[in-house]
Amino acid sequence: MKRIALLLILSFIWNLSSFAQIQIDTISYIKNNPLIYSLVISKNNKIIHQQYFNRQDSTTLFNDQSLTKSVTALLIGIAIDKGYIKSVDEKVADFFPELKADTDKRKQDITIRQVMNQASGFYHEGVNVGALLSIPDPSGYVIKAPMVSDPGKVFRYNNAATHLLSVIITKSTHMDTRSFAKKFLFDPLGITTFDWKKMNDGYYDGCGLLSIRLRSVDMLKLGNLVLNKGVYRKQQIVPAKWINSIINPEVTYKTPWGLDNSLYGLCWYHADYQGTKIIYALGWGGQFMFVIPSLKAVIMTNSGVADATAIKEAALITGRLFPELLKQLQN
């Protein structure tokens, strides 16, 4: 019994020391920040820091906003691997036959890849997100609306078009996106608690306007899945080939937000930050999941999503918090 007790004490002390590797408690812009909700960090697949702020805790299901896109991207890879979707270059028109009768023949050539790259040329909802949410059939509205550019030519961040990915998953697998995610992604990872809303067309939100909601530690698992080439506990959850496509996309586009000089491809962001490769997911208002392969680390943050403070909070994380955390992880 004494030996067991000693091992437990040593384990407790080790856990305390591992959590102490990251020091942010005294940083004023974190300590006094009413907008930040969580910060969870793992290294070598072990959580080394977990902290919650402003009345949030480890059970909170956070509004992940456009991290929903990056989760949906993992599901697309699983669907391709299982043969439900031919490839990322399959035509969207294969799932929306009405596009083949559209007078704008460009719509027949739009691929899943172009939708995932925010370069489909489909109608973009602009700043009036509320209007899109109120439309009875948002996916149908988008594919019927006039094109705004040629497919593949222009990066135009497009929630309206990205939602089509969820429709494609549902049509190709004959399972709704939530059920498909639960069976092939969440259950194998031990993610049992989450919330996911449907758009007015009856399909689960594929873009983040209504958002998937996960605990920060569970979203962190998805980051580690990318870090570990799709493997969790010796089980291949997402095909390694697809993870490699996410990490090294064939086509990327420059983005005017996020970390400096970021590129976008297949619903994920990429940056060379002071010589360190970063793959990350980004959601409105300060929802970030940074994957740092060279350090075998993942950083997850959740924050408030109010429009009035969203840009300021995101800038604080990319401009101050992330650089500080990266420095500490490198030391």
User: Within 13 Å, how many C-alpha atoms sit on residue 65's CB side?
Assistant: 19
Task: Identify the pLDDT of residue 24.
Answer: 76
Q: Residue 203 pLDDT > 80, yes or no?
A: yes
Beta bridge partners of 321: none
- CATH for 26-330, among 3.30.1490.20, 3.40.710.10, 3.40.50.970, 3.40.50.300? 3.40.710.10
When pLDDT is averaged across residues 110-115 and rounded to a whole number, the result is: 98
Q: Residue 10 pLDDT > 50, yes or no?
A: no
Task: Identify the pLDDT of residue 162.
Answer: 97
When pLDDT is averaged across residues 282-288 and rounded to a whole number, the result is: 97
| β strands within the chain, DSSP E | 36-43, 46-52, 62-63, 195-196, 212-214, 231-232, 235-236, 253-254, 263-265, 268-273, 276-283, 287-292, 297-303
pLDDT in tens, 136-181: 999 999 999 999 999 999 999 999 999 999 999 999 999 999 999 9
